[in-house]
Amino acid sequence: MERVVFLIDMQSFYANIEKIEHPELKNKPVAVAGDPKIRSGIILAACPTAKKRGVKTAEALWEAEMKCSDLVVVRPRMQLYLDVSVSIAASLEVYTDLVEPYSIDEIFVEMTYALPRLGITAEEAAEQIITKIRRESGMIARVGIGPNKVLAKMACDHFSKKQDDGIFTLNLVNLQEKLWPLPIGKLFGVGKRMNQHFLNVGIRTIGQLAKSELADLQKRWGINGEVLWRTAHGKDEAPVTVDTHIRRKAIGHNMTLPRDYRTWDEIKTVLLELSEEVARRVRVNGYLGGTVTAGARGHNHFQQPSGFHRQMKLPDVTNDGKVIYEAVKHLFLRHWNRDAVRSLGISLDGLVSDECRQLSLFRDDVDREKLNVTVDRLKYRYGSEAVLHATSLTAGGQARIRAKKLGGHYK
């Protein structure tokens, strides 16, 4: 039996939710954007009306307003968007229990065994789902169909959105005709840097990559070269799983700062906050980690890359923010070149269950564990501002601001 996977994408998700919440905005150009006063005035989503006026996702708010002077800008409400996303995903379980949220506005659905039971084709099922989502939530959905996740994703991204019915099937039959002529940057998994690498060696289309010698790609780019070659051929064995976001290899947190941070005192304050937040999330998910990764970027990192991304292995696995911070501090002081910093990131990798740990005869961590558990409980009951380091109250601290946000934006 050939697999059938859907990738369901909600059109202009944030902006359309705001239009549903505010009927008076129905025919107006609407964009959801951060607060420009704290340097996050970036377009997160724009409705179709705004897009027709030239407004683009991820562009600066001032650029969008120059193109569309009557643009209605709405501040993001991440908790509302998350609630709608969870509701839509739950509603799809009437078809199958293999429903995997890929992002807040994209959902993978394994339909392989559902279609014979329903007695309908994949296209008919997609039509049903689009109608169901629109009737229940008001959202406009598009569906990419493929024999695996990667083809379903590219079917939706590159073709479904251009179809009147919002449905497109990409498979091994039409792969060469539809996918291969596209620019190499359109291949799933190819970012800006990899795109440039391919262009530098004369690979400009997905088809050219597919026709390249695998051994040459492996020699130049290792396992990544092989993965991208397989993707170009439509090969992907990844299952649709309901616990994709539960069984993790790493837990991290990145933050864009409201301004340039130039002093170590300000930077270390945020690093401590991020370390504690990563540790808390690791504990909540029942993990310990053995490798700490730290990174920083400057203001103009796209035009003039600056910053670093380094990691170090810990002597023992941990979920203690203090231990993570000490490792992060070591990495930062060793690799930071004293340029101004605009974003910071920390992650704990190599996760294992917290039920498995190596006991030490020379160190007693029981008191630290009890303290961490107590702090976690206080934050759970009274909010993340309930317990803070004193340094978070200084000018560089961001913990109190982040407590009011979800996904980097206000709830």
pLDDT band at residue 112 under the 50/70/90 scheme: very high
Q: How many CB atoms lie within 10 A of CB 284?
A: 12
Please tell me the distance from the alpha carbon of residue 99 to that of residue 8, in angstroms, as a whole number. Answer: 10
What average pLDDT does the structure give for the chain? 85
Same domain, 271 and 220: no
Lowest mean pLDDT among 24-38, 57-71, 170-184, 363-377: 363-377
Same domain, 217 and 354: no
pLDDT band at residue 186 under the 50/70/90 scheme: very high
| Residues 64-83 pLDDT 10s | 889 999 999 998 888 888 88
* Mean pLDDT computed over 376-394: 67
Determine the Cα angle at 289 with ends 104 and 356, to 5°. 115
Q: Does residue 148 sit within a domain?
A: no
Same domain, 259 and 220: no
The CATH number of the domain holding residue 188 is 1.10.150.20
Q: What is the pLDDT of residue 77?
A: 86
Q: What is the pLDDT of residue 75?
A: 87
| Residues 231-256 pLDDT 10s | 999 999 999 987 654 455 678 888 87
Q: Does residue 105 sit within a domain?
A: no
- Of residues 190 and 382, more confidence is placed in 190
Q: What is the pLDDT of residue 364?
A: 53
State both tokens at 259: 């301004």
Tell whether the torsion through CA atoms of 255, 258, 262 and 266 is positive or negative.
Answer: negative
Residues assigned a catalytic role? 106
CA distances from 93 to 30, 115, 151, 404 (A): 31, 14, 22, 32
Q: Which of 45, 119, 28 is nearest to 81 (CA)?
A: 45
Same domain, 310 and 357: yes
Strand partners, 101: 107
Residue 203, pLDDT above cutoff 90: yes
| Residues 341-359 pLDDT 10s | 988 989 998 888 876 555 5
Percent of the chain with pLDDT over 70: 82
Residue 301, pLDDT above cutoff 50: no
The CATH number of the domain holding residue 66 is 3.40.1170.60
| Number of domains comprising the chain | 3
Q: Give the range with max mean pLDDT: 50-59, 168-177, 190-199.
A: 168-177
Q: Does residue 245 sit within a domain?
A: no
Strand partners, 107: 8, 101
For the annotated binding site for Mg(2+), the residues are 9, 105
Task: Please name the amino acid found at residue 263.
Answer: T
Q: Does residue 281 sit within a domain?
A: yes
Tell me if 251 sits within 8 A of 281, measured CB to CB: yes
Same domain, 314 and 181: no
Same domain, 269 and 341: yes
Same domain, 208 and 264: no
Q: What is the pLDDT of residue 361?
A: 46
Residue 287, pLDDT above cutoff 80: yes
Instruction: Give the position of tokens 């039409």.
Output: 174
Lowest mean pLDDT among 191-200, 246-255, 281-290, 375-384: 375-384
Confidence (pTM): 0.67
* Mean pLDDT computed over 358-363: 51
For the annotated binding site, the residues are 9, 105
pLDDT band at residue 35 under the 50/70/90 scheme: low
Owning domain of residue 404? 250-410
Q: What is the pLDDT of residue 252?
A: 85
Same domain, 380 and 261: yes
Tell me if 111 sits within 8 A of 240, measured CB to CB: no
Task: Please name the amino acid found at residue 298.
Answer: G
Buried b (16+ CB within 10 A) or exposed e, 314-343: beebbbbbebbbebbbebbeeebeeeebbb
Q: Does residue 114 sit within a domain?
A: no
Q: What is the pLDDT of residue 132?
A: 93
